[in-house]
Amino acid sequence: MCRYVLIVMLMIAGWGTGAGCRTAGQETGTAPSARPHPESPRPSSSPEKAAAPGVTTSPGATPTTGPAPSTANAPAGADLGVLPLPSGAVVYVAGGLDPAAREVDVLVHFHGAPHIVVREVGLARLQAVVIIVNYKGLSATYEKPYSEPERFASLLAEAHEELRTRGRLASDARWRHVCLSSFSAGYGAVRALLLQPKYYEQIDGVYLADSLYAGWKDDVPYSGANPTNMAPFRRLASDAVAGRKTLLVSHSYFDPQKYAGTHVTADDLVTHVGLARRAVDEAGPADMRIVSRAEAGQFSVWGCTAPAEEHGRHLQNMHYWLAHLPISTAGATAP
């Protein structure tokens, strides 16, 4: 009975309240009872060994998760000032961006209720074009379309055209900095784009909001993250340490067991670039606590806990990390 109640509670948590679709691994917000060790890939006390709701796995593949519940009470697009695009995404201009600007930053966010993304971008005071992409389904629903060579270019082009026709963007405006952010399952699109050379070169910064999962190495539980799944992110981390890109990672310590959770993949990146975590006890946004950190160059990792909805807190408080992306902010000099 307790297990049934727990599963129902986890499935209720949505884009904006907590769970959302995890991309390779579901971080359904059960906060650990004690502060985790910064570099312990397997918690000393594991959660009940039952499959997380909506999670499917297959040998050698990156785990995927089920769809997020609907957000029936969320504000409508018109109320948010967002414009629908032919692809199903929405776009808007944040931070009072000058419509005559010739060089414009763009942030593409994958997976998250638009009203929360709009709020968090506003709190971060970003001055940019913001595109929000959501799909109903597993993480593969993000990865598959953005593996198509022209999909991302088409998304940017349709956003540019929609804003131009409405007088919100100059016809000759060009993208200055292109940044991505993702929550939960949205990292599938990020990985697909990083694997394509032309997009890897175009992307300047990435923020993963509790949003990087992987299969286990050699399909052996707790053997470490699958190197193939991690390869594009390892490359990005190395380039960020060298100052060529920006990579920001915030993660929880939920252990999905059947695949590598966000704390394990973060450890993988930290180790790959030759860093070590340090234990800290810092106030994060809202009721979040930052309990471990690692950084070098433009690569930063924050290990976080929260008293409830631990996974969803990363979406709900994205502003704390979005402000570190190479995007202009209102009233500030462009980075």
Higher pLDDT, 186 or 4: 186
SS3 track for 30-51? CCCCCCCCCCCCCCCCCCCCCC
Q: What is the pLDDT of residues 80-113, one digit of tens each?
A: 789 999 999 999 999 999 999 999 999 999 999 9
pLDDT for 138:
78
Structure confidence at residue 79 as a pLDDT band (50, 70, 90): low
Instruction: Name the pTM for this structure.
Output: 0.81
Helix locations, 81-178, DSSP H: 114-123, 140-143, 151-165
Average model confidence (pLDDT) across the chain = 82
Amino acid at 308: A
Structure confidence at residue 330 as a pLDDT band (50, 70, 90): confident
Are 209 and 314 a contacting pair, CB within 8 Å? yes
234 Rama sector, left if φ>0, alpha if ψ -120 to 50, beta otherwise = alpha
pLDDT for 80:
76
- Would you state the structure tokens that stand for residue 219, as one six-digit string? 């399909």
Enumerate residues 6+ apart whose C-beta is below 8 A from 124: 318, 319, 320, 322, 323, 329
Any idea which of 51-55, 155-159, 209-213 has the lowest mean pLDDT?
A: 51-55
pLDDT for 332:
54
Question: At residue 326, does pLDDT exceed 70?
Answer: yes
Q: What is the pLDDT of residues 149-170, one digit of tens each?
A: 999 999 999 999 999 999 999 9
Q: Biggest alpha carbon distance in the chain? A: 61
- All structural domains of the chain, each given as residue ranges with its CATH number in brackets, are 2-28+50-322 (3.40.50.1820)
d(CA 175, CA 17): 32
